[in-house]
């Protein structure tokens, strides 16, 4: 099932072909009975017998991923990494590769993993993600991880874009004006967190009114209203940023509810934190899982 539609912002036929090929990796050397589905193939019957290293190799080829730079110096570690990420984790769930890459991008941006940021920017471009969408995902990080870290990430991505002949600056995706950014930000915030937002803003203590003002104008006005990513995708990206940050479980729980409000399911949220797990580690992943389970009990 195609969970996220990017409204033609990806190269349609290429997108479907790559996803089918990635899912089709499971079919090699397998006696499993299969049936065709909308997003590739579902397996029926016997468990697939294909080895992780072959899955990893085939998946990396389809994603256009480069050779692990540690292959010559640390072959064991390189194999563990590639087989875990591309041979196991990447095949979990039903999120499409383009969305997986955006989720990984914000996680590694949050962790300031420059090499991983460039690696997955290249993969995203290979999969047909528009440069503007990559930029929007990184911009979305600013209210949560801070402007400085986002500036560093953008400098790295801009160098890669320039090397690939992508002209900068890209067309503006801004939709607000100086006059309406706070009001539209408040409305956007209320669409995610409910009408109680208006009460929280209007009845904030005098010494905290400036924080509410900044939240509405800056976070939800300047960023959430931009074109290219809808609220559903922005909230799932935000979930992964907060998960990668760690130590902000209260905010994480609020955004779990926000994800529900804009249409993301518990399953999609669990898949999102899973795809980021190799880059953020088990502790932060398990903390997020606990928050999801506490907020959305079975």
Which tops the pLDDT comparison, 47 or 183?
A: 183
pTM over 0.95: no
Domain spans, the chain: 1-55, 181-223
d(CA 12, CA 18): 10
- When pLDDT is cut at 50, 70 and 90, the band that residue 51 belongs to is confident
d(CA 108, CA 120): 9
Which of these ranges, 9-13, 63-67, 76-80, 240-244, has the smallest mean pLDDT?
A: 9-13
pLDDT in tens, 63-81: 999 999 999 999 999 999 9
pLDDT > 70 in the chain, percent: 83
């Amino acid at each position: 099932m195609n969970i996220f539609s990017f409204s033609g912002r990806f190269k349609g036929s290429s997108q479907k072909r790559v996803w089918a090929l990635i899912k089709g990796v499971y079919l090699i050397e397998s006696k499993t009975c299969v049936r065709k589905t909308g997003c590739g193939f579902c397996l029926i019957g016997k468990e697939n017998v294909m080895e992780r290293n072959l899955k990893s190799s085939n998946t990396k080829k389809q994603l256009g991923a480069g050779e692990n730079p540690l292959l010559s110096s640390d072959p064991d570690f390189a194999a563990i990494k590639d087989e875990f990420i591309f041979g196991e984790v990447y095949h979990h769930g039903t999120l499409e590769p383009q969305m997986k890459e955006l989720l990984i991008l914000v996680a590694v941006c949050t962790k300031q993993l420059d090499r991983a940021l460039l690696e997955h920017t290249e993969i995203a471009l290979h999969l047909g993600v528009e440069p503007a969408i990559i930029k929007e995902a990184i911009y979305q990080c600013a209210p949560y991880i801070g402007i400085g870290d986002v500036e560093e990430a953008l400098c790295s991505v801009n160098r890669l874009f320039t090397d690939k002949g992508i002209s900068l600056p890209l067309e503006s995706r801004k939709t607000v004006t100086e006059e309406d950014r706070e009001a539209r930000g408040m409305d956007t915030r209320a669409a995610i967190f409910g009408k109680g937002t208006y009460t929280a803003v209007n009845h904030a203590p005098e010494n905290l009114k400036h924080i509410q003002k900044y939240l509405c104008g800056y976070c939800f006005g300047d960023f959430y209203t931009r074109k290219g990513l809808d609220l559903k995708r922005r909230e799932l990206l935000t979930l992964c940023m907060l998960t990668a940050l760690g130590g902000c479980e209260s905010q994480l729980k609020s955004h779990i509810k926000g994800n529900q409000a804009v249409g993301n399911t518990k399953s999609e949220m669990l898949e999102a934190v899973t795809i980021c797990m190799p880059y953020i580690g088990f502790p932060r992943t398990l903390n997020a899982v606990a928050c999801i389970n506490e907020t959305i009990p079975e």
